[in-house]
A and B are shown apart, each in its own frame.
Chain A
Amino acid sequence: MSDDHGYHHGPHDWSHGAPHNSWAPIVISLGSGVFLFFFAKAFTMNEGMNGYIYDSAPLPLAIAGLAIIFAGLIAWWKQDFSFDGSYEPQATHGSAPFSNVDIRKVGMWVFLMSEMMIFSSLFSTYIRYRTSIVSCYSLEGTVVEPGTACWLPASYFIAKGGEHANSTLGFMPDALVPGAINTFALIISSYTIVMALKTAKRTDLEHAERSIKVRNYLGATFCLATLFLVMKMVEWFIGFHIGPFEAPSLLSDQFTIHNDAYTYNYGHGAEAGAMTVDIRMAASAFYLTTGTHGVHVFAGIIGLGYMVVKAHKGGYGPGNAVSIEYFGLYWHFVDLAWVAVFPAFYLY
């Protein structure tokens, strides 16, 4: 690493080695603090200590916090835009078992280890509640103690279609269509990101042509990821009625965090009854886990936005194609998390 430029006081880009100053860290940190501060400020405990008073006034300041985080990201990207791979750190020769492996690749794998811990904690929460509260439809034909709460998972509303089991395709209810589209969207996007990587590494194309192809593949990934989030919003809040396909949103099905009055009718004739359903618990676990996954997809979209712009400006070539590979690793992990989340929360 060359340091013949003397000791720089200000941030600079990669033109002569890794930058050793940056405004991004402090700006992103303060922005995160501002966001969490004002988001918390929007809610206060009510008198009875069993509910929350929501005040929307601090929320614009919370959005300002997000904007500050984004500004910090822009500062980071401005430095990285000129990175062309001429300084890609590799593990030193003695660093068994990672000798000569790209350091940033090791870093991405280690980061994914911590991400595994996040998702396993979310699954732990879900499993703890799911296995200890009896599911409502398993109580059919049994005698139920009054006051028992039962569990209706999200799959009751989605995979079984809940009380509106409209099924145009026959083998699955319409409510599952957005979920199915999402699954395929993510899998195909994993393919397009690999294609972007392979194209960037090609040496038989002109740089301009290669850049366009890379940009297109990255753009396809971007669009598929955005489609994923749009489908998720449709499924959660909007619902759809397109031709014969019709399904209500989870919101209109009353599968919400605040709903404490959902009852499930079970049995027939003399044994019929209604039980209170623990919808709040099921909804909390569902929305937090799928929401966390969605946040990870969103973070990927932000990253992809940067990469599309950089590809458009011809910033990716064989020298720094590995940068796409690192993102690809993250993206495959997000896909893998979805492959676990989808059956566990949408189908089971």
Chain B
Amino acid sequence: MQLRNVWTVRAMVIVAVLFAALMFSPEHEARPIGITGVDSGCYCHAPDGPSGAVVPSITLANGSELPENYDPGTTYTLLISFTGGPAEDYNPDRLNTGGFNLVASKGTLTPIDNTTQIMAGELTHTDAGNDQQTWYANWTAPTSGSAVLRLMVNSVNGDNLATPDDSWNAVSYTVSGAGGEAPTMKANGLTVLFSGILLTAILFAIALTYVFYVRDPESFSWARFKPWITHWLTSTDHKSVGTLYFVSGLFFLGVGGILAMMIRIQLSSPGNDFLTKDEYNSFFTLHGTVMIFLAAMPLINGFANWIVPLQIGARDLCFPRLNAMSFWLQPAGAILLLTGMFSGMGADVGWTGYQPITSTTDHYGATFWLGGQVLLVASSTLTGINFIVTIATMRAPGMGWMQMPLFTWSILVSVMMLFISIPTFGIGLIEAYLDRTISTTFYNTAAGGDPLLWSHLFWYFGHPEVYVVVVPAFGVISEVIATSARRTIFGYRSMVYALAGIGFVAFIVYGHHMLTSGMSPLLRFVVMLTTMLVAVPTGIKIFNWLKTMHGGSLVYRTHTLWALGFLVTFTLGGISGMFFPAIAMDVHLHETYFVVAHFHYVLVGGTLFGLFAAFYYWYPKITGRMMSERLGILHFLTAFISYNGVFWPMHKLGLLGMTRRHHTYYIRADEYSDIIGTLPPEAAQWNFFITVCAFMFFLSNLIMVYNIISSWLNGRKAPADPWGGWSFEWLVSSPPPTPSFAEIPTLLNANPDREPGRLTGMLERIMTPDPGDEGEEAGH
């Protein structure tokens, strides 16, 4: 008891230290976007990105190149100039030809005539210096350190309109200090990503190999390895397939996390160029796709595979080979999805793949992205068939529909939604795949195709899909809260009806993703109502969980903490989601960071936290070892706090107008300038804060990975029922034998005199064949 108190104090001290560190992190100053207050009809930093036609340069005034090493303290006269672009092509009078902005990271810049000036610490041109392409200025070298001179130039076409017909470009020069300090190399986003993934995979492989060597050095040989690898490649046992899903899901969770880190590095400061626009587009596309299809759904499938047969008292799923095929289609799909990532040609279409860009983008990775998702569609459809039939036909004696555990119910509702909605997505994908290969015209606007058709086909699937990933989390939370509160869930029947209600309403709300697409006002209104309606069953579930805890006596384990955290973050996410059905609000919030904040609150704060709870809850059953509670609580505290630090400020950023899916953003130089698309300076500060918290969140999850591995190696042996649960999975040993049940258990009825429900009775009378037919058909 004493030891636990001490550890809690230590954990709180660590968290306090982390908070203090955050408080004192350096303030970020935003960089202004260029000249403001000069009414000269030029558009600096047109959002299309830099133009290769404009060639900026800095040389010395006498025409020679900048020195490689400066003389400390000497003053150099620089010649700043550019060629190319609209100033030369379209500007015959040579008036209002261009501008520049020069920042020196070290040393001082001083103007030498009235064509340049210092504004906010940076050298730029004046109104008088508006009509030229060359300027002169002085730069006084510092005493030490590498100086980076960053020049941005604007080539203006002189039509006195601030339009993106003006082009810009940027260049950097590095002048080293005496002694030839090597300039720091700029990180390349793709290299970092590739290295990150490769490193993760190699470390994982090494850890795995090491584990096996350490366990039994004598038998570390091919003769022992071959049956082991054959088992894992060919097993159809639900427990092995479940473990395969976990391994693959956790790996891709890491990959998705690394992609997110790339995105956050890029967004940590305005005008950043860590990633190009195309790379950034690929990264957020694959972050979404990997996280949903290769991380969230496999992890859910892992638990479904492991736990559902145990909970219903079945020895396996009903179609084991199909189950294995569902799994193996995922790595095959993953290879296709990620094609092109490392050469900069990855799919750059968003996980939503809106048309017509998906059918016309020159990134060839998009075709493979479409193909890979077709495989994942097949995988999900087969999973759906498997689980529906298993749950419908292989339950233990005594387990009617209304006696099933809530996790099994949640998996049933989830796969029903999945396998009805995903074939539609498959057809949309095939149409887009054919558009990109054999030139069909489904989404080709020039040939009469309709991009909105994709939106309908996609979102008819896409909306049920997000419920597919969150409903199993509901099931996990029901199990965890009931066990932790040491009482049965409050309102079991209403929980089941709420799940079924969510499952049904999910199909009639998808229009809320298209409220700004120009659809008919009547349908917009209808979809607004149905979207608000879907909050009702979800709210019922939340109140039932609260009431369960209120009527019970809560034991605080790690899985309990994650369930409580889920209740907070999922509720917040659900509430922020309820702003969108109000169509007027949606017009303002669409495509802003408010949306990003909402869905990360429900996807991470809902699905992922539910999965974490499930890991801590069922890990003893699956591996036969107990996880470390200390590391679990540490993981919870660091992850939960840093996660909120990442996504809570995004609500504010969204309201400030920060647009999602844009590779960078720009800050107003002062509060009077009102250039469209710029943000106030606090946006830069919040973005930097979010990036720091994102790194903390990423690293904190490694605590759980470490916990998983180290507990598996030397955790305490787990009993069959460490938490006092009462569903069938707690009957068998930890880990369960194969087959899981030597003898199928019978669920005894606590209310034996209760008549079966009307619906069950009706269906039973319709569906059950007469004994006569059965004898003839079965023949055994």
A residues with a Cβ closer than 8 A to B are 1, 3, 7, 9-11, 18-26, 28-30, 32-33, 36-37, 39-40, 42-45, 49-52, 76, 85-86, 88-104, 106-107, 110-111, 113-115, 117-118, 120-122, 124-125, 128-129, 132-133, 149, 201, 257-258, 260, 278, 280-281, 283-285, 287-288, 318-319, 321-322
Contact = CB atoms under 8 A, between A and B. Distances in A.
B368 to A, nearest CB: 5
Contacts of A89: 318
B348 interface: no
Nearest to B227: A9
Interface string B400-426: 110000000000000000011101101
Contacts of A91: 392-394
Given A21-B236, A96-B764, A129-B450, A45 B389 contact: no
Interface stretch (B179-187, B437-445, B482-490): B437-445
Contact of A95 (B230, B339, B392, B769): B392
B14 interface: no
A42 B329 contact: no
A216 B121 CA distance: 90
A328 B64 CA distance: 84
B330 to A, nearest CB: 8
Interface pairs A-B: 9 shortest CB-CB: A33-B332, A97-B767, A91-B393, A36-B371, A25-B325, A97-B763, A29-B328, A25-B324, A284-B440
B768 A103 contact: no
B388 interface: yes
Given A28-B325, A40-B433, 5 more contacts: A10-B234, A22-B234, A98-B393, A100-B768, A288-B440
- For the residues of B in contact with A, the DSSP-based class is helix
Q: Which of B400, B423, B769 has the most CB of A within 10 A?
A: B423
B763 A125 contact: no
Nearest to B329: A29
Nearest to A27: B328
A190 B96 CA distance: 79
Given A40-B368, A257-B438, A288 B423 contact: no
A22 B456 CA distance: 39
Interface in B352-386: 360-362, 364, 367-368, 370-372, 374-375, 378, 381, 384-386
A97 B332 contact: no
Contacts of A37: 335-336, 339, 368, 371
Interface stretch (B546-554, B627-635, B771-779): B771-779
B235 interface: yes
Contacts of B384: 110, 114
B315 interface: yes
21 contacts: A1-B315, A1-B739, A21-B230, A22-B321, A33-B335, A40-B367, A43-B438, A51-B439, A88-B778, A95-B392, A95-B395, A97-B768, A103-B393, A114-B384, A114-B423, A117-B421, A118-B423, A121-B424, A260-B447, A288-B442, A321-B777
B398 A23 contact: no
B739 A11 contact: no
Interface string B735-769: 00011000010000000000010001001101111
Contact of B446 (A3, A50, A104, A125): A50
B236 A19 contact: yes
B423 A49 contact: no
A135 B430 CA distance: 26
A106 B227 CA distance: 35
A25 B328 contact: yes
A118 B768 contact: no
Interface in B234-249: 234-237
B399 to A, nearest CB: 6
B574 interface: no
Contacts, number: 265
B212 to A, nearest CB: 16
A257 B441 contact: yes
Contact of A3 (B441, B739, B756, B769): B739
Given A37-B368, A76-B321, A96 B400 contact: yes
A201 B773 CA distance: 12
Contacts of B744: 92
Q: Which of B332, B450, B738, B774 has the most CB of A within 10 A?
A: B332
Given A19-B321, A21-B235, A128 B450 contact: yes
Contacts of B431: 125, 284, 288
B237 A20 contact: yes
A106 B152 CA distance: 67
Contacts of B430: 288
Interface string B309-353: 000000110111110110111011101100100000000000000
Nearest to B424: A121
Contacts of A120: 424
A120 B460 CA distance: 12
B397 interface: yes
Contacts of B440: 257, 280, 283-284, 287-288
Contacts of A278: 447-448
Nearest to B379: A29
A99 B397 CA distance: 11
Contact of B778 (A24, A52, A90, A285): A90
A26 B324 contact: yes
Contacts of A94: 395-400
Contacts of A9: 227, 230-231
B436 interface: yes
Contact of B336 (A36, A45, A111, A285): A36
B572 interface: no
Contacts of B396: 92, 94
Given A21-B236, A107-B318, A118-B426, A95 B420 contact: no
B234 A101 contact: no
A142 B448 CA distance: 22
A76 B325 CA distance: 11
B237 to A, nearest CB: 5
Contacts of B215: none
Contacts of A52: 436-439
B760 A20 contact: no
A95 to B, nearest CB: 5
B441 A101 contact: no
A26 B364 contact: no
B375 A45 contact: no
Given A25-B321, A88-B780, A121-B428, A30 B332 contact: yes
A40 B370 CA distance: 9
Contacts of A97: 760, 763-764, 766-768
Given A19-B236, A21-B236, A288-B431, A107 B371 contact: no
Contacts of A288: 430-431, 434, 440, 442
A89 B319 CA distance: 10
Nearest to A49: B360
Contacts of A110: 384-385, 388-389, 419
A102 B777 CA distance: 10
B236 A20 contact: yes
A332 to B, nearest CB: 18
A45 B328 contact: no
Contact of B437 (A40, A76, A90, A321): A40
Q: Which of A89, A96, A98, A120 has the most CB of B within 10 A?
A: A96
A95 B312 CA distance: 11
